[in-house]
Structure 1
């Protein structure tokens, strides 16, 4: 992941929202909520992540985009701001997969998305499950890998926004394996 990729992602998602939001209320029968692709995280916010085991690509992301809020896309999608990441409750997953993770995103249905703590690690979909002492445990078949890495997750999210803007129904961020 690099600055050019993030800039292009912002442009692509922004263009989809630009097509979707002007006629949203007529199309869906209710007004859209506020959609946000945030500016870069501030120095204090980035400093709050120091000392946490975070993948470099997530730090690169926060250096360009503080948060993302897509409340009308599918079941809602959010990429959390650094303050939420710094105060995370899940630091490890156990079950079908075992890994040190960083929860960085969620949807409106209670599903969390966590990336492995090492750059290039998979992104996991964590449906509601047991969390004890920072360890998420689940045998739920929906618990699994949704993308091979953070860039893959962002690509899938961008595609879900595109599908929603075009078809009115979002693509899913369910398991990919």
Structure 2
């Protein structure tokens, strides 16, 4: 597991509005550098990159049975979804409706936990946070899914962050690396 990078505000406090606002500003600044010359640099026009507004109360209430961690609910109260289709293979933080209908509800094998799948990349990898506690965040490459249980022997099936803020920090870093170099950052 990568070393934990301190939260942007230097604290170990749970995710809050200031953190989310700063994360949004950082990603927007990266996209502002990346997108204007994107087609010349990469040879095709960029897709639509979005950082959505807050999820509705009805959407948030629909997640209750999944036992989402508090940090994920705090995130959704500020940002409903994120779509970064041209950063590496693409990164997506799913809206609550998509989270609600994910087929993976637990992982077994190298790790055993009840999870909430909240994100993916364009290569088929899912990202899941442990239900209720919100710690850790797992990377789930393509694997077997039977009756909601994910299993994989792939060595990429691993912990990618201690919590949601750690995942968001790593995603921000990947976007920054891509905007600066055109090479996909590590997530």
| TM-score bracket for the superposition, by shorter chain length | over 0.9
SS in 2 for 1:22: coil
- Asked if 1:114 corresponds to 2:128, the answer is yes
For residues 49-88 of structure 1, what are the structure 2 equivalents within 5 Å? Answer: 49-88=63-102
The gaps in structure 2 that reach 5 residues or longer are: 1-14
- Asked if 1:142 corresponds to 2:156, the answer is yes
* Alpha-carbon distance in 2 for matches of 1:113, 1:8: 22
Q: For the Cα contact (< 8 Å) 1:57–1:119, is it kept in 2?
A: no
* Alpha-carbon distance in 2 for matches of 1:62, 1:119: 16
2:113 pairs, out of 93, 99, 102, with 99
120 and 46 in structure 1: CA distance in 2 versus 1, 3 angstrom threshold: closer
Aligned CA-pair RMSD: 0.9
The alignment's TM-score, normalised by the length of structure 1, stands at 0.95
* Alpha-carbon distance in 2 for matches of 1:53, 1:31: 39
Q: How many matched pairs?
A: 173
Q: Which runs of 4+ in 1 moved over 3 A?
A: none
* Alpha-carbon distance in 2 for matches of 1:91, 1:10: 28
